[in-house]
Amino acid sequence: MDRDILELAVELRHTLHAHPEVSGKERWTKACLMDYLRKHAPHLTVVDRGQWFYAKYTAGEGRPSVAFRTELDALPIEDRIDKPYVSTIPGVGHKCGHDGHMAALTALALEIDRRGAEQNVYFLYQHAEETGEGAPVCCALLREEPIERIYAWHHRPGEPMGTVLLREGTLYCASRGMILSFSGVASHAAYPENGRNPAFAMADILHALPQLAQVPDRRGLTMATVIQVTAGEPTFGTQAHEGKLLLTIRAAVQDDLERLQAILEDFARKKAEEYGLTAAFSYCDDFPVTDCDPREVDKLRRICAKKGIPVKELAEPYRGSEDFGHYTRLVRGAYFEVGSGEECCPYHTVGLDFPDACLPTAVDVMLGLLQEKTDNA
């Protein structure tokens, strides 16, 4: 990686860290990056797509096309780092390291602008990763352009600095927000027998949840996590007659997630019938399994070996989720992680500050993907 570009990337990362924006509201971030690329990478074409954008390096007709993706959004978490570039937005911070991911992709764009590439390269700047809403929208790029492969990366606290973490197949689990809504009949609190209270059905579901989450014949991890339980209002003369149970359901295999959802819906319907309630279900924050193509993972291994970058093979997928899986449903791809040091604070905590020392490894690996011989097999 060019040292001058590294210095620019570090400066950009600090600027982005100081101006975080939550999912769906990344207007300043997007404008900043578009202006930056137009200024520093004049050979690239920058295309505004509303909430997101991409830049393109054109190698020529008939050349392979690849894409690299980064995320724009921060989190509604206070930034408590003792640095000059601490967040200027109260209650919002880059607590997942997306500021570093954006800086790395921009550095890659500057490298390609200077040195060129054998392929057509798309640099995709995606909004709303944290909510899972961004990737489904940005998949339009893969449907409109002849992109054959797509890549992304993430830093990983707690792993040795600069170590690349790889896994063939599932790297991140699928997850989905599940909202179970129950309606009964209101009554005076002195005469509960005249009403229908959803709290008892919800209690039965909560009691059975650990067993329900053990999906029969599952092929990997399945789990259901309670997020919120609400029933009734603080009016002590009226018993509860409306209730909601919010869960996050999760699985290492996509089909297992669908079966877990069906099991929970079926059990909830039976409980609603038993207690004379109506039940309804809605969903949000949908993240598919993030699968890494074995051929692309092997390519990453070869790149790291050539560059002397240490590699750690992961035996199990991470429980967390990533919306990058929407892209790999359409084209081949891979996702890698770079260790950000044993001292780096965990994700989604007030002290996390993406370590700039991660940038050279991430950019060098992405450059390697563009230098590696194309395999159409």
What local confidence, expressed as pLDDT, does residue 372 receive? 77
CATH of 174-286, one of 3.20.20.70, 3.90.550.10, 3.30.70.360, 3.40.50.720: 3.30.70.360
Could you tell me how many helices (H) and strands (E) the chain has, helices first?
Answer: 10, 14
Tens digit of pLDDT for each residue in 79-102? 999 999 999 999 999 999 999 999
Please enumerate in sequence order all residues whose Cβ is within 8 A of that of 129, keeping only pairs 6 or more positions apart, or say none.
23, 71, 72, 73, 98, 135, 322, 323
Tens digit of pLDDT for each residue in 171-212? 999 999 999 999 999 999 999 999 999 999 999 999 999 999
CATH of 3-172+289-371, one of 3.30.43.10, 3.30.360.10, 3.40.50.2000, 3.40.630.10: 3.40.630.10
Q: What is the mean pLDDT of residues 110-115?
A: 96
Residue 238: which pLDDT band, with cuts at 50, 70 and 90?
very high
Positions of CATH 3.40.630.10 in the chain: 3-172+289-371
pLDDT averaged over every residue in the chain: 97
**Helix (H, G, I), strand (E, B), or coil: what is residue 330?**
coil
Reply yes or no on whether the pLDDT at 240 is more than 60. Answer: yes
With beta carbons less than 8 A apart as the criterion, state whether 1 and 112 touch.
no
What local confidence, expressed as pLDDT, does residue 346 receive? 96
- Which amino acid type is present at position 178? M
CA distance 358 to 98: 12
Positions of CATH 3.30.70.360 in the chain: 174-286
Reply yes or no on whether the pLDDT at 374 is more than 70. Answer: no
Give the rounded distance of the alpha carbon of 217 from its chain centre. 28
Q: Which two tokens stand for residue 286?
A: 């949908």
